[in-house]
Structure 1
Amino acid sequence: MSKGRVTIVDIPIDNLFKSQLVSAVYTRLEKQQKNTFIVTANPEIIMAAKRNDSYQQAILQADYIIPDGTGVMLASTILSQPLAEKIVGYELLHTFLSYAGKQQKSVYFFGSKKGVAEQAAANAETLYPGLVIAGVKDGYSGIGQETVEEIAACQPDFLFVGLGVPLQELWIAQHRHLFPCSVLMGVGGSFDVLSGKTKRAPKFWLDWNLEWLYRLITQPTRGVRMIQLPIFVVEVHKQKWRERRYLAK
């Protein structure tokens, strides 16, 4: 069972297995009593929250903040509070799509460049027969009230938002009240991968927790974002040092 949360650079990460997460999400969805906001926290998201108070407050509204990435798992080990399991956002997206297909649940894809979300939705329909596409909207068509109302009118069971960090979580936090029974999750660049526009790292790189390196090699422009990784590690060691001082008092 879950052992609560592990705080990493001021962000409380849920310490649970993927099976526990999806079971809880499906139960909430079937009861139709409340919505569920999931944040897939990686070092980039955690560091963005450290720099931006509004973004941090948006993340803290989430029902589940899960460890998406090797960096977060490493941080928990450094802090001597190892998390149960890495829960990769892209893989969780597929888990939810598979469930939605089997249960004939509706999904909405919002974000990415024009045509990408549409292709991602088409590929998802092929992969998961029974999937109901409630709607698709690219991220360049606007994020204002008209867009919000258009998406809310569909009341999808799952709303996947690919607007990038920090916009996607800010958008969800601001508008989640309009989706009383939906599962809402920011998915970053997952539409690019699902659509076939971007290739995911081969199995070898995934098995050795080197997806970040593969991305850096194949997408050099990500270098600026990757700078956050060593900064994140420094912040984790600072936290460990502060906690040790506190315990020593």
Structure 2
Amino acid sequence: MTKQVASILGVPFSTRGFRESVDYMVERIEGGKQTHVVTANPEIVMLAREHRGFRAIVEQAYVVPDGIGIVYAAKWTNQPIYERVTGVELLEALMAEADRRRWSVYLLGAHPEVISLAAQKLAERYPSARVVGYRDGYFRQDEEEQIVQDIAEKKPHLLFVALGAPRQEEWMVKYRDQLNASLMMGVGGSFDVISGKVKRAPAIWQKLHLEWFYRLASQPSRWKRQLAIPRFVLTVLREKWSGRS
């Protein structure tokens, strides 16, 4: 039987494929179990490697391989991760389940215009899913208690948080026991894509595993963040050659 966890530079990834991951999450929600999902790409792995507090958060979460770099790293180190589980596609798949099961959904983060548009589009696309609330990510610290209380009162099956990593993961863990959310997941820039403000790479770029390059070409300001990719590759290969990975 394939093991359920593979370690990439110390980060414990689920080895389930996309559909199997969705089914597993649905099973946990229906069973009343709380789940914190982290969609981890090379940038997240390097953050976890360099910051002990963030690594502790990731180690307690259900981590999926969001990024072809993770799949390649697994291949290089002979670990059973064969399929990407991207954040925006996982969000859409969980929304489809929410539509089917009439689950409640809460959206938090992003720019005010973006979150409003994303909420509207998701409500139109999944009419039986109940979008019970949304809030942009431009809030002050003294407003957090009110936001947490609002989410707690709504008791969402799905809580999607777009505050950027590592802030979104730290925020969810900080308030996890108060939020009353069945599944909470950091979704980074997914609301920008869903709202239509940012275009996802065309299918051919995705198929060629060059989505990261498309994002860099269309948003050159991302170049500093993208430096995590070559650092990640070099670190994986160095550990492989030294026999530690």
Q: Return the TM-score normalized by structure 2.
A: 0.94
Instruction: Give the SS at the match of 1:56.
Output: helix
**How big is the shift at 1:39?**
0.6
Q: Which residue of 1 aligns with 2:104?
A: 106
Structure 2 unaligned spans of 5+: none
Q: Which residue of 2 aligns with 1:15?
A: 15
Instruction: Give the SS at the match of 2:128.
Output: coil
Contact 1:35 1:176 in 2 (8 A): no
Contact 1:148 1:175 in 2 (8 A): yes
Letter in 2 for 1:124: L
Letter in 1 for 2:48: A
State the Cα deviation string for residues 120-145 of structure 1 (Å, max 9, x = none). 01001111121201100000023532
Alignment of 1:182-201 (within 5 A): 182-201=182-201
Instruction: Give the SS at the match of 1:243.
Output: coil
Letter in 1 for 2:34: N
Query: Residue 50 in 1 paired to residue 49 in 2?
Result: yes
Pick closer, same or farther for the CA change 1:127–1:89 going to 2, 3 Å.
same
Q: Which residue of 2 aligns with 1:164?
A: 164
Q: Which residue of 2 aligns with 1:37?
A: 36
Instruction: Give the SS at the match of 1:13.
Output: strand
Pick closer, same or farther for the CA change 1:2–1:93 going to 2, 3 Å.
farther
Tell me the percent identity.
Answer: 40
| C-alpha separation in 2, matches of 1:60 and 1:174 | 15
Q: Which residue of 2 aligns with 1:131?
A: 129
Q: Which moved more, 1:178-187 or 1:97-106?
A: 178-187
**How big is the shift at 1:243?**
2.3
Contact 1:35 1:179 in 2 (8 A): no
Letter in 1 for 2:36: F
Q: Which residue of 2 aligns with 1:83?
A: 81
Q: Return the TM-score normalized by structure 1.
A: 0.93
Letter in 2 for 1:65: V
Alignment of 1:64-83 (within 5 A): 64-83=62-81
Instruction: Give the SS at the match of 1:115.
Output: helix
Letter in 2 for 1:86: R
Pick closer, same or farther for the CA change 1:167–1:181 going to 2, 3 Å.
closer
**How big is the shift at 1:180?**
4.5
| C-alpha separation in 2, matches of 1:4 and 1:234 | 26
Query: Residue 210 in 1 paired to residue 213 in 2?
Result: no
Cα RMSD, aligned residues only? 1.5
Pick closer, same or farther for the CA change 1:236–1:79 going to 2, 3 Å.
same
Q: Which residue of 2 aligns with 1:61?
A: 60
Structure 1 unaligned spans of 5+: none
**How big is the shift at 1:229?**
0.5
